[in-house]
Structure 1
């Protein structure tokens, strides 16, 4: 956890941008990302120089070649000339960053690939100098601090991004990752990764529960290079997501540009053992621009259904998925809705439906959602489907999302990890198991209210005549009181 002092420093950086004329949250984070990246490159160069002086040679990356040392963070900061630094940033530093390419600093990071269209938009030398001074005071030599710092920065996105993008609440991501329990051998994909919150949380889970993951050389290489895969068609998100992973200690994740639903993205199939995702819900696509492979799975223009078809296509046999979907996916009456639910139940293994309260995504959206958990088998396997009706997630369900004491999420995880005990639960409880036969009988409807039993408490009301008698008595008492008050006032 970052301290209150560090949070205060980040707040001051944020306030400096806003008072300096940059009010778009994504632009603020993007510019801070560039500066943090430049500082990280300088730290790498310093580490290589120390090793070179001590041993006479180094295998560490040295990002700044001869003739480019003046572009280093420490050199710019030491110059003391903010006008010079501001001019150099636009004329030399950013062209240098854009030229780094995929093989920046050897195998240290893949971040350079996302810098090709980086733009320097800090408007004044005074703002740049203030921000650089503040960022230089923030310690970046600890992975946990780095990650928490960047997450705190991302938490300040208080409005939806372009194309309907918004951050998935981190406590919901954490629940999904804990329920999926990724292992060191997994290959994890988020086809709509945004800021890479799911991939980051999965990496932290693996580090925590498998502390020896980085001891073995082959396993460490898999962790850094081939375990985490994220796609997005927003270059800003790619940069932010890549830096998020880098700050959390994953050096070279496979985060790249891809419109996951497009015809041009066809070709990847059965590559991943796990998918964690919250794909965009709103909107529909033209048939012509959508992958024909996905259209063969389900004929639809709706993005939420196309993404579900994509998940099934990307997963290996036996691969598992935990994905957030709008409620309409659970009970929609179109042919495409019904067919996709039938496929999940009959052709694969539907494991669970966790219903979320409708305020979870506020202030971005009030859409009602659920988390689907399923396993790709290609040969069925659905037996009992576990349902949980989440009433509270630890935060108020209004736009403020203030912390509250009511929180079902720990209970969700606890019950999920002990499904045998769920077999005896009545359907009046928060969670219960539903046999496949019942779901088939309901036309593959997956809405929890279809199966939940509501107990109506019998209330015995007083006879109407007695109530009317009480009303008349009260009226008489009021009239008597008014008459006495008039006598006093005479």
Structure 2
């Protein structure tokens, strides 16, 4: 194994990002780009743990000198590193390096069960058919060339670099990116609207890579508050993605958080006693129109999530919404969730649930976003904001905002600029009638008018730039696009099963 150690001495952001991307490029060929994250992030995190252990050891020696005992030093480290489990032990292994790395990562998790359980994912590092020795050597050498301790890289830089890699991996993953990555401009807008405050408890029941939780910390910090007072909670069903979320939070300098792995509908883990834990902010971009989400178990849900009825078995959108509402605190609770426009007008069970939520005066705002913002879908989406205690001027009303024209065109995806985000946020907070000003329209609509429209919440029915006929056409087009996406997803699942069964087509 060729070693290429250097003395980085305060890396620039560009140098750090270039190094991290070089680590991903070391895997090209044997590893599919969509799987880079499962390999690069655990190795990066392992290097960070080792470099920080060395940094803490040097500080301990400087502070305590001859009085430093092994027992005392153990209390000074963020993570315990067992003998033989340091980065140096792996980088010095020239044959069967994957076997050594597998053993080291498992022992690290066992030595830090409360902090590192499941954090390294489930890659079989010893499988040279999947990851040849040459590729693993190249990956390790790339990270060996940098130091990731506080003397070399500050926390904000490291967190930003991690976000950079997440974005790059999302682009490489295409539609699969939606499973773990929400574009940061969408996250920024959603968090800005919910306005986290020091001391808030925050939950994301479909947390993906943890971007929503990280952004709440950034928002509080930028507002001059103490982000360490926030209490962050997340749940994620995918093992690799939940591991990425934990690493993301650690690398952003956060420690007081809980990320649980599991099925939010069938086995919610953000609990207090036998019931759901209540939060100031519940925020999510959950998977849209989830099929087979667990409707059977909700007919007698013990967690009180059937607020307005059991959603259809083949579409879990209103299961997410009701789960999040049930997780709000009674006084300060607020929910922000990204949803497809179909939830605004679909009938049947969903129509009945929608009417019930509006009659209970829980829905505060519907904000229509620009098209094509996400890797995973091109259908129109909206932000829905719910509150347990709405301001007096918004009680028995719903604020509709059409922000579909506030975007910057992109080659693959559109984006929202900082100015777009500020304009949309200001419109939400002021809530005044605006007709086309700043490229958006909004209206505060009485419950009586919504009732006249059969509790159809399609924005086109209330923003009077469109006729009712056009609103009906819009609904039909959206429903058609959603149906096409569900069909494509079903065809992908069928193709995967046929390939697994040995059919060649």
Q: Same fold (TM over 0.5)?
A: yes
Change (3 A) 1:359 1:52: closer
The equivalent residue for 1:287 is: 295
8 Å CA contact 2:404–2:440 kept in 1: the answer is: no
The equivalent residue for 1:22 is: 31
Change (3 A) 1:455 1:344: closer
The equivalent residue for 2:236 is: 232
Give, in whole Å, the separation in 2 of the partners of 1:382 and 1:99: 52
Give, in whole Å, the separation in 2 of the partners of 1:165 and 1:403: 19
The equivalent residue for 1:401 is: 413
Shift of 1:170: 0.8
The superposition leaves residues 134-162 of structure 1 with CA deviations (integer Å, 9 ceiling, x where unpaired) of 22344533111111111111112233576
Change (3 A) 1:402 1:164: closer
User: Quick check: 1:248 aligned with 2:255?
Assistant: no
1:274 aligned residue (258, 281, 289): 281
User: Quick check: 1:432 aligned with 2:437?
Assistant: no
Give, in whole Å, the separation in 1 of the partners of 2:252 and 2:78: 21
The equivalent residue for 2:355 is: 342
Give, in whole Å, the separation in 2 of the partners of 1:311 and 1:417: 22
The equivalent residue for 2:76 is: 60
Q: Secondary structure at the match of 1:351?
A: strand
Q: Secondary structure at the match of 1:99?
A: helix
Aligned length: 428
Change (3 A) 1:149 1:272: same
User: Quick check: 1:353 aligned with 2:363?
Assistant: no
Give, in whole Å, the separation in 2 of the partners of 1:453 and 1:287: 37
Change (3 A) 1:203 1:262: same
Give, in whole Å, the separation in 2 of the partners of 1:258 and 1:348: 31
Q: Secondary structure at the match of 1:317?
A: coil
8 Å CA contact 1:347–1:379 kept in 2: the answer is: no
Q: TM-score, normalised by structure 1?
A: 0.78
The equivalent residue for 1:329 is: 343
Shift of 1:386: 1.9
8 Å CA contact 1:347–1:378 kept in 2: the answer is: no
2:94 aligned residue (79, 82, 85): 82
Choose 1 or 2 for highest CA Rg. Answer: 1
Q: Secondary structure at the match of 1:281?
A: coil
8 Å CA contact 1:82–1:125 kept in 2: the answer is: no
The superposition leaves residues 249-286 of structure 1 with CA deviations (integer Å, 9 ceiling, x where unpaired) of 11141101121111676843351111110111133335
Structure 2: unaligned runs, 5 residues or longer: 1-10, 468-505
Change (3 A) 1:15 1:395: farther
8 Å CA contact 1:246–1:252 kept in 2: the answer is: no
8 Å CA contact 2:200–2:281 kept in 1: the answer is: yes
Shift of 1:245: 0.9
The equivalent residue for 1:47 is: 55
The equivalent residue for 2:494 is: none
Give, in whole Å, the separation in 1 of the partners of 2:121 and 2:16: 31
Q: TM-score, normalised by structure 2?
A: 0.76
Q: Secondary structure at the match of 1:4?
A: helix
Shift of 1:378: 11
The equivalent residue for 2:220 is: 206
8 Å CA contact 1:143–1:247 kept in 2: the answer is: yes
Structure 1: unaligned runs, 5 residues or longer: 104-109, 457-490
Give, in whole Å, the separation in 2 of the partners of 1:237 and 1:161: 15
The equivalent residue for 2:116 is: 111
Give, in whole Å, the separation in 2 of the partners of 1:212 and 1:416: 25
8 Å CA contact 1:383–1:436 kept in 2: the answer is: yes
The equivalent residue for 2:14 is: 4
- Report 1 or 2 for greater relative contact order, CA contacts < 8 Å, sequence distance ≥ 6: 2
8 Å CA contact 2:46–2:87 kept in 1: the answer is: yes
The equivalent residue for 1:461 is: none
8 Å CA contact 2:371–2:414 kept in 1: the answer is: no
Bigger mean CA offset, 257-266 vs 316-325: 257-266
8 Å CA contact 1:82–1:128 kept in 2: the answer is: no
